[in-house]
């Protein structure tokens, strides 16, 4: 997988988030501080869909036995940070 910089990761992550939301919230209104559940209205099922979509599109891997998924999926920023560091580790 071609290396993505932080900016590309943010665009991709926010694009996937928007595609899963059925309201008209545009990607550029989503901020790093936006809380995925409370502010963007994701429930557990939608978060799993988000996780699967990220794994499939970006090749990152979320392991419920190793990663604190609640912490990772707390805000858009915490999610982007996890994705960036995963991609850095895995090259």
Partner 1 sequence: MNPAPNQLIPESLSLDDGLLAKAAEEFSTPLYIYDAAMLDREWERLRLALPEGVKVCYSVKANPSLAVIDRFHKLGAGFEVSSPGELKAVSAVRPDLAGTFLVGPGKSTAELEQALKAGVPLIAVESSAELKRLWEAASKLQQPTKALLRLNPGRAKGQQQMAGLTQFGMDPDEALAALGADPNGAPVEIVGFHAFLGTRLLKAEDIAQNFKAVFETARELQSAANKRLPVLDLGGGFGVPMYEGEEWIDPVALKARLAPLFEEHLHHSPWTTGLMVESGRFLAASSGVFLTRVVDVKKVWGRNYVIVDGGLHAIGGRDPYLGARATPLRLVGRDSPLASVTLCGPLCTPADRLAARITMPKPREGDLIALYLAGAYGLTASAGLFLSRGFPAEVVAENGTLRLVRQPLAYEALLAGQRL
Helix (H, G, I), strand (E, B) or coil at 42: coil
Among 30, 36, 51, 76, binds partner 1 (CB under 8 A): 51
Tokens standing for 20?
Answer: 């899963």
Residues in the chain: 91
| Residue 24 interacts with partner 1 (CB under 8 A): yes or no | no
| Residue 65 interacts with partner 1 (CB under 8 A): yes or no | yes
- Start-end of H helices in the chain: 6-20, 44-58, 69-72, 76-90
Among 28, 45, 88, 91, binds partner 1 (CB under 8 A): 45
Residues found near partner 1 in the complex (CB under 8 A): 43-45, 48-49, 51-52, 63-68
């Amino acid at each position: 997988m071609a290396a993505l910089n932080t900016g590309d990761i943010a665009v991709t992550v926010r694009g996937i988030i928007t595609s899963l939301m059925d309201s008209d919230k545009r990607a550029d209104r989503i901020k790093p501080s936006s809380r995925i559940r409370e502010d963007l209205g994701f429930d557990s099922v939608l978060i799993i869909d988000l996780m699967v979509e990220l794994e499939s599109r970006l090749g990152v891997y979320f392991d419920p036995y190793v990663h604190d998924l609640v912490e990772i999926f707390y805000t858009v920023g915490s999610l982007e940070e996890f994705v960036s560091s995963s991609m850095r580790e895995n090259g």
